[in-house]
Structure 1
Amino acid sequence: MDQVPGSAGDHAAAGGPPGCYRHPDRATGISCTRCERPICPECMVSASVGFQCPDCVRDGGGTGPAPESMRPRTVAGGVVSADPRLVTKVLLGINIAVWVAVMVVGDRLVRDLDLFGRALTPSGVEGVAEGQWYRLLTSAFLHEQPMHIAFNMLALWWLGGPLEAALGRSRYLALYLLSGLGGSALAYLLADPNQPSLGASGAVYGLFGAMAVLLRRMRQDMRPVFVLLAINLAFTFFPGSQISWQAHVGGLVVGAAVAFGMVHAPRGHRVAVQRATCAAALLVVVVVVVLRTLQLTG
């Protein structure tokens, strides 16, 4: 990175990037992922996502727990945790546990948990339109084929860890669940109500969208994510693939929108904006589901 003479104020006044907080004469476009102060290459300390400044690294390395208000924060304002993959591990465990249960119980469990709008089953008319709204969420943790769960869990591990570290546990969990619900809602709205669907792909595509937003926010190379996303979308829309493109697109859009609200929320109103973003995403899901239910039952 080029070094530009002048103070931080000079850079800002000229409309250029700010100066490093420790070396004001060095313009930089990189910020610490914890405190968001500008840092130059000499001050950058590599982290799981982005870079941290020396002060945050030193403050985060103490032997005792710091007060909540003094603990280092992620780029989205979440508290930096000792295990940045804990929620990802729990989500992996739930998906795998449900898959094992399907292997043991068989098709009956799949019929009880998968997503479909409204259809005649051996137990009568069932589906989301008949009040079984839980299928919007349970189907996002349901898999049958080994390759299906393998690909989804690999993507969850690859994308989930960095996103959890960047957002914090509660924000990351909200992102994952809302992405899964967004994918289910669009599938419920547009797919054949008799056609069942299942899988964590909607939530995983939401993580793809969130990762693209995060990398852009951190000014990092977005090409690897875009290439992998393009490959997956190509498989999604490949003729005869029998993949629920509605769930993929719904999850992708909701994940990107929620992540944008989280990482671009102004610091002075960060929590309020992030909560409003999540509430708006959930409201859209509810409205879509209600409208589709009225359509199928009216």
Structure 2
Amino acid sequence: MDTQPGLLRCYRHPEAETGIRCARCERPICTQCMISASVGFQCPECVRGGSGTGHAPDANQPRTLAGGRVASDERLVTKILIAINLALFIAVQVVGDRLVDDLALIGGAYLPTGELVGVSDGEWYRLLTSAFLHQEIPHFLFNMMGLWVIGGIVEPELGRIRYAALCLLAGLSGSALAYLLSPQNQFSLGASGIVYGLIGAWAVLARRRRQDMRPVALFVALSLLFTFTRPGISWEAHVGGLVAGALVAYAMVHAPRARRDLVQYGACGLVLLIDLGIVLARSAALT
């Protein structure tokens, strides 16, 4: 019998060729072994969730594509992020512009006296607080919808810890680029950096899953078109978040299994160092 080059063989039935992998552990599985799951197909071991014998307790635990634990609530971190944004949005409505002045990111901010304020004056917290801050209802609703929809796709694929790290780095990277490139005294706020980071991660995941990339590419193109054609939008935060999200997601889902943690943590650390370098360089230029 002729065989097709490039096809894998089922780990339980070596005589059976297959092009299907378990969505959790990535072992090749044939049609007899694959079990339908909420995301693709899983092998019997992952479905059993470690109930077999002769292995360490976590050896057969279901894992995400990036190696994280599969959680019962696949949107828990997304819900927490939305709750933080909602709490700050309500606080802004109650307190007013004073809270926005205290938490928003300001590009190259100078007082009329020439005194520096903001990140360049040591208020580094603005790099993160600005990524959860909203002032207008349409802006808040648009970002929360994006966080809920796209986050609901990305979080189950990465797992909670990796997903939270990606979101924070995307928000921080968007703020760092906005701090570097924004005009003097321009305010920047909103979760757009995080949302665009998730868009970048979604594109990487779709490519990794060998899905049809045309809808994803169209969505990314329309998102960038929206970014650069609408006035008053911080394109720097969008682009910074998009690039960081794509880079971190790529490292997470393509890391070799034997060195997965090292590659994933190293990639996150590298992005963090780049952000730190950008902020330090900009602050030095201003002072």
Residue in structure 2 matching 1:35, options 25, 28, 47: 25
Report if aligned partners of 2:108, 2:182 keep a CA contact under 8 Å in 1.
no
**Partners of 1:172 and 1:215 in 2: CA distance:** 16
Residue in structure 2 matching 1:168, options 149, 155, 159: 159
Alignment of 1:134-283 (within 5 A): 134-238=125-229, 241-283=231-273
Alignment of 1:93-172 (within 5 A): 93-121=83-111, 125-172=116-163
Per the TM alignment, residue 26 of structure 1 is displaced from its structure 2 partner at its CA by: 4.4
Per the TM alignment, residue 99 of structure 1 is displaced from its structure 2 partner at its CA by: 0.6
Per the TM alignment, residue 112 of structure 1 is displaced from its structure 2 partner at its CA by: 0.5
Per the TM alignment, residue 55 of structure 1 is displaced from its structure 2 partner at its CA by: 3.1
Report if aligned partners of 1:49, 1:162 keep a CA contact under 8 Å in 2.
no
List per-residue Cα deviations over 1:79-123 (Å, max 9, x = no partner): 111111111110111111111111111101111110113324599
**Partners of 2:179 and 2:65 in 1: CA distance:** 34
Return 153-162 or 215-224, whichever deviates more: 215-224
**Partners of 2:90 and 2:21 in 1: CA distance:** 44
Give the corresponding residue for 1:82: 72
Which amino acid letter does the alignment assign opposite residue 271 of structure 1? D
SS, match of residue 237 in structure 1:
helix
Structure-1-length-normalised TM-score: 0.88
**Partners of 1:245 and 1:119 in 2: CA distance:** 18
Give the corresponding residue for 2:283: 293
Report if aligned partners of 1:209, 1:253 keep a CA contact under 8 Å in 2.
yes
Structure 1: 5+ residue stretches without partners = none
Alignment of 1:18-33 (within 5 A): 18-33=8-23
How many residues align? The count is 283
Structure 2: 5+ residue stretches without partners = none
Structure-2-length-normalised TM-score: 0.91
Per the TM alignment, residue 60 of structure 1 is displaced from its structure 2 partner at its CA by: 6.7
SS, match of residue 128 in structure 1:
helix
**Partners of 1:108 and 1:228 in 2: CA distance:** 36
Report if aligned partners of 2:50, 2:57 keep a CA contact under 8 Å in 1.
no
Query: Cα–Cα, structure 1 residues 153 and 46, in superposed 2: closer, same or farther, change >3 Å?
Result: farther
List per-residue Cα deviations over 1:169-225 (Å, max 9, x = no partner): 100000000001111111111111310010100111110111111111111223332
Give the corresponding residue for 1:17: 7
Give the corresponding residue for 1:71: 61
**Partners of 2:21 and 2:95 in 1: CA distance:** 51
Percent of pairs identical after alignment? 60
